[in-house]
Each structure stands twice: as structure tokens, then as C-alpha cells.
A and B are shown apart, each in its own frame.
Chain A
Amino acid sequence: MLVTRGFKGRRREGDADRLRLPPGQFLTPEFPVLTTGPTQHTRLDRWSLALQHGGSLLGKWSWEQFEALPQTEITCDIHCVTKWSKFDTRWRGVTIDNLLRAAGLDAAPTGFLMAHCDGGYTTNLLIGDLIEARAMIATHFDDLPLLPAHGGPARLLVPHLYFWKSAKWVRRLAFRENDTPGFCESHGYHLRGDPWREQRYEGDL
């Protein structure tokens, strides 16, 4: 540990908050917007969500069909790789478990998943990070429809991983045998991105 001469830190977080913050993160009440390109605007009458396995389609939902699936509310802390964290964010959407059930699957396929989004963004995930109520397709934030800048109409929400994994404007979930890097992961970011292990970048253990 190298002590930085003269650095004391402001410690705006109390002890309880500090325990909730993964290493290297700071707390913000704001909700910053980070996107690699322009915000996508997808009309609801043209929106659909597809679930694929290998080359086959497991299920596909229009916006009305998707809104009719069982809804789940969760309150969670979120952590961005750019260092900000936000506590007690409130979301509503459809868990991946319920999505799989709606597609008639008793269990998730084994292996990995690539999420594909409007605008071309992708991110790769382990199936284990998505099931057992760990992840959802979120359509509402604080009881309101999710704004386009925050990923609306629908984004992936995987709050226990760095937030680049919670891909905005998600349209297609593709189960697959192999793990290959998505967009950020092929530009120097970690394949899995666990904030508690500080897996920010390629090369972090």
C-alpha cells in the first residue's frame, strides 16, 4: 500500500455505507448516463424481445406480450465501473427465470449468454449470473417507464455485476456454449465484472 502524501479523503460515506460500497467505488445520489454512442429510441410497436439457443428461437414477445408476463419488483445497489455506486434503486420488470418459464423451459440452458441490443451493443454473461432471481429485463425505474437515456424501453439488470453488464435497449438474449467477449469486454474490460472482486479490466483476477 502506497500512502499518498497529504491525502486524507473526505469520507462522505458513513461506516454502514462504506460496507455496502465495493472497493474503489464512491456513492452518488445521481444517476449518471454512460453510453458509448447516441441514445437509441425504439418505438414500442416495433419492439420485441427474442430468446435464442444456438440457432433456434425459444421465444419471442411483443411489447404487449412482454408487459403481460409476471412482474417482479426489486430494490438494489448498482455499481458502475467508472467508480460511482448508487444505493436502493427501485426497478420493475420480468426476471430471467420467469422469461425462461414463459418460453416453456424448466431450466436454463447451461453455459453462457450474449445479450444483443439496439445500436449494436453486446455483453456476455454466465447463466449462473442471470437465474435464481439475480437478473431481470427491467422496464420501470421508480415506478415510471424507463427513460431511453437509461436504457428504456427495456434493459438488462444484473445488479451484482458492474453496470455495463446491465445492457441498455436489450432485444435478444442468445444462449450459447462458449463465452466470447461482448462490446466492452473486447475493449479492455473484464469478462465477468464482479465489483466485489474489483474485476474492472482485462487482466484483473
Chain B
Amino acid sequence: MIGAAMAAAQWRVATVTAIRAETASVKTIRFEVPGWPGHLGGQHVDLRLTAEDGYVAQRSYSIASGAGTSPQIELTIDAVPDGEVSGFLHEELRIGDQIEIRGPIGSYFAWSAEHDYGLLLIAGGSGIVPLMSMLRSRAAAGATQHARLLYSSRSIDQIIYRSELDRLAAQTTHFTLTHTLTRETPSGWAGEQGRIDRVMLTRRQFTPAGDPDVYVCGPTAFVETIAEHLVAMGHRASNVRTERFGPTGAIRT
């Protein structure tokens, strides 16, 4: 255990091997990380950027790729307006560039195949990233318990991983996907509309029946509101794990 912790704390030099756009403001970056100790779905990493004059900026980002020990890991990064680091990652970073990385970090907001219980996932915006890592981990591990995802986006073109989520939902009988759109809804939209509330949670069976594990990730106000609904619906507070906008709380830059 000490060995694993030492390995996670160690800074490694990662090389960018692929960059792809997920939406107009979200990119996924793949890194080759020699010696990567492996991770669980939902964990995060720290990045360290150093300017020529020695100025250093560090940020935390959720891992998007599924659990495992592959030295290739993916981060999905939302471009925050005026973001010092996310702006650099979106505009400057190229394939072949090197960047310092350490992790994986945080073993609480994480899914492990050893704990394959009923699973309720609720995401707002880029809060989907660690939950996608969990879903990918579940698919790879052949998880047998039912999982539900309720994913709130402003509009259809801002849904991250849309086609992969559709594929996952079509391929497996124990994954139920529901989108809700809060601003614009295309004609013929079959999903939910508007912000997630208690009625929507109940309609989509995000109920305490079966004592499921619940993970909520998104902006602070989103997470606060939904966590309160869940507790009021009878979920045990200790079953509700929350993360405000990825690992960095209300602020991402």
C-alpha cells in the first residue's frame, strides 16, 4: 500500500499522444504515462505546468478513461473562460508535447469492480467525466448490477460522449441512460427537459430502493440541490458521494 501511495505521489513526465474534440468547448487529451500505477474509475490526477521563468501552475483533472494499468490515460477538459491552464491545454498543447502529471488521487469518489452494487450516477455538464470513467470501468469489468445515469446538459450539442453513451445504453441491458436539456430542446426530443428535480429523479427511478451507491458530479449549486433531494427521498447520506465540478470545486481555471 505504501508502495502504491509513493507511486501515486511521484511526478511523471507524460507525452500527449492524441487530442480530440468532444464538443465545441471540450477536448479529450490522451497521455502516455510511463510507469502509470493504474487507477480506478472516478479518480483524478494533478497536472503541473512550468513556464520558462519558473512560474508554476497546478490543476486537478478527473481521469476519463476506464480503470486499469494501461500507461495510456485520457483526461477530458472543459475550456473555462479565461482559464489559465484549461486555455493553454485547449489552445497550445500539441501531440508530442510533454507535461508533468501525478496520480491517481482520491479513492472515495471512485468505482471498483469489488463493489458492484446498484449504481445511480447524476452529472451536470463536464461533471460527466469521472462518471464516464466509472461507466467505462464497469463495462470493461462486466459489472452485473444495474446502473442509471441522469445527465444534465444545456443543449444537445453540449452533451459530452453522446455517441458512446448511446452505444453503451444499446449494448447492455443493465444500463439506463437519461438526458435532460436545460436550455434548448430539439424538436422530437425524447429525453427530459429542464433542471433535475425530485419529480424527475423519482420518475427516472433514482430512488433508494435496493440501497444503491449514488455519485453526483457537477457545478456546486447543482450538486448541493441534488444531494438535498436525494436525502429527502430517503437515500442514506453516507451512500451519496459528491464531487463539485470535478476535483476542483466551484473553480476551474
Residues of chain A at the chain B interface (Cβ within 8 Å): 1-12, 23-24, 26, 28, 30, 32-40, 80, 82-84, 119-120, 149, 183-184, 187-188, 200-204
The size bracket of the interface on B is 35 or more
Partner of B238, one of A120, A187, A203: A120
Tell me whether A2 and B98 are in contact in the complex, defined as CB-CB below 8 angstroms, given that A32-B220, A187-B107 are known contacts.
yes
A188 touches B92 (CB 8 A): no
Query: Could you list some 6 contacts between A and B, CB below 8 A?
Result: A2-B100, A4-B88, A6-B93, A32-B250, A33-B249, A200-B9
For the complex with contacts A5-B92, A11-B55, 7 further pairs of A-B residues with Cβ separation under 8 Å are A4-B100, A35-B242, A37-B238, A38-B228, A38-B231, A82-B247, A187-B106
Contact with A along B86-120 (1 / 0, CB 8 A): 00100011100111101001111100000000000
Kindly list chain B residues whose C-beta atoms are within 8 Å of the C-beta of A5.
Answer: 92, 94, 97-98
CA distance A28 to B250 in the complex (A): 10
B249 touches A9 (CB 8 A): no
Counting CB contacts under 8 A, is B169 at the interface? no
Tell me whether A202 and B228 are in contact in the complex, defined as CB-CB below 8 angstroms, given that A33-B244, A33-B249, A187-B106 are known contacts.
no
Q: In angstroms, how far is the closest chain B Cβ from the Cβ of A18?
A: 9
Tell me whether A26 and B5 are in contact in the complex, defined as CB-CB below 8 angstroms, given that A1-B54, A82-B60, A120-B238 are known contacts.
no
Kindly list chain A residues whose C-beta atoms are within 8 Å of the C-beta of B250.
Answer: 30, 32-33
A202 touches B50 (CB 8 A): no
Q: In angstroms, how far is the closest chain B Cβ from the Cβ of A38?
A: 4
B6 touches A203 (CB 8 A): yes
Residues of chain B at the chain A interface (Cβ within 8 Å): 2, 5-10, 13, 46, 48-52, 54-60, 82, 84, 88, 92-94, 97-100, 102, 105-109, 220, 224, 227-228, 230-231, 237-238, 240-242, 244, 247-251, 253
Interface of A, helix, strand, loop or mixed by DSSP:
loop
Kindly list chain A residues whose C-beta atoms are within 8 Å of the C-beta of B54.
Answer: 1
A9 touches B97 (CB 8 A): no
Q: In angstroms, how far is the closest chain A Cβ from the Cβ of B57?
A: 6
CA distance A7 to B90 in the complex (A): 12
* Closest chain A residue to B55, Cβ basis: A9
Tell me whether A38 and B99 are in contact in the complex, defined as CB-CB below 8 angstroms, given that A4-B49, A201-B8, A203-B5 are known contacts.
no
B5 touches A10 (CB 8 A): no
The 8 closest A-B pairs by CB, nearest first: A203-B9, A32-B249, A32-B250, A38-B227, A202-B5, A24-B58, A6-B92, A203-B5
Kindly list chain A residues whose C-beta atoms are within 8 Å of the C-beta of B94.
Answer: 5
B51 touches A82 (CB 8 A): no
Q: In angstroms, how far is the closest chain B Cβ from the Cβ of A19?
A: 14
| Residue picked from A3, A4, A6, A188, most chain B C-beta under 10 Å | A4
Partner of A37, one of B84, B98, B237, B248: B237
* Closest chain A residue to B250, Cβ basis: A32
B242 touches A188 (CB 8 A): no
Tell me whether A149 and B99 are in contact in the complex, defined as CB-CB below 8 angstroms, given that A1-B50, A30-B250 are known contacts.
no
B52 touches A83 (CB 8 A): no
CA distance A55 to B247 in the complex (A): 37
B52 touches A188 (CB 8 A): no
CA distance A115 to B212 in the complex (A): 28
A26 touches B84 (CB 8 A): yes
B224 touches A39 (CB 8 A): yes
B100 touches A83 (CB 8 A): no
